[in-house]
Amino acid sequence: MNVSTENNPLPGKICVSIGGNDVDDTLAAALEVEEDADVIEIRLDGLTKPEIEPFIERIKTPLLFTNRPDWEGGLWCDDETKRLALLKQVISVHGAYVDIELRTEQILRREIINLAAKNKSKTIVSWHDFQTTPSAAQLEHILQEQIESGADIGKIVTMAHDYADVLRVLSLQTMAHENDFSLIAFCMGEAGRISRLATLDLGGYMTYAAPESGKSTAPGQLSVSTLHHLLNRLHHEN
């Protein structure tokens, strides 16, 4: 379900992010969006009793597992060792992607990245700001850290308050391209909605959408049907 077509090639992917507190309900929601997604994100931090195997066994679409800590806007409030143990479990069963925060202690982050590389799982090293968008210099510094981290893909997502915030984040694709580094970069909030669409045309590795049924996992997230509709309008109509 990659959004590229023969006439309008887009390299980017659509990831549908699934949040919930019950494994069975989350699995059901993931199964509903399989045909609409290139990647499905399972938010382990929202699950009361996180499990990996039910998703790996039932879902054919590539899976991204995220266990977002509260200090990065997520719901995980427990021990860091336990949090990362779940990501290691994902890697051990060859999950397609794991998300590890740039702010994770460096030695622990490196352990996840190295383990994933050995088991053919891709790592997304992520950085989020739910309040504002840093300066261009700060954003470039964050991206440089991600490039040097050894991860396969970077992710930088900020809260946009105006078009200038959006432009600063989207322009990071130039630096990523110059360094041959895959980057996910867009903005949250009302002002950032357009970036969730535009990032794919600007070389972004992936954008995120919400399922039709269920809550969005970030402010300003579009439903997957809306995202597909807008992409079709842009790339399939004369």
Catalytic pick among 82, 88, 128, 161? 128
Catalytic pick among 155, 161, 215, 235? 155
How is domain 13-235 classified at the architecture level of CATH?
A: Alpha-Beta Barrel (3.20)
Give the three-state DSSP class for 70: helix
For the whole prediction, is pTM greater than 0.85? Answer: yes
Question: What token pair was written down for 57?
Answer: 């066994």
| pLDDT digit string, tens, across residues 149-163 | 999 999 999 999 999
Residue 128 falls in the annotated catalytic set: yes
Residue 59, pLDDT score? 97
Question: Which residues are within 8 A (CB) of 12 and not within 5 positions of it... i.e. 6 or more apart?
Answer: 2, 3, 4, 199, 200, 203, 204, 205, 206, 207
Beta strands per DSSP E along the chain = 13-18, 39-43, 63-66, 97-101, 122-129, 153-159, 182-188, 206-209
Residue 141 falls in the annotated catalytic set: no
- Nearest partner of 64 among 89, 93, 43, judged by Cα: 43
The CA distance from 179 to 137, in Å, is 17
| pLDDT digit string, tens, across residues 103-128 | 999 999 999 999 999 999 999 999 99
Residue 10, pLDDT score? 58
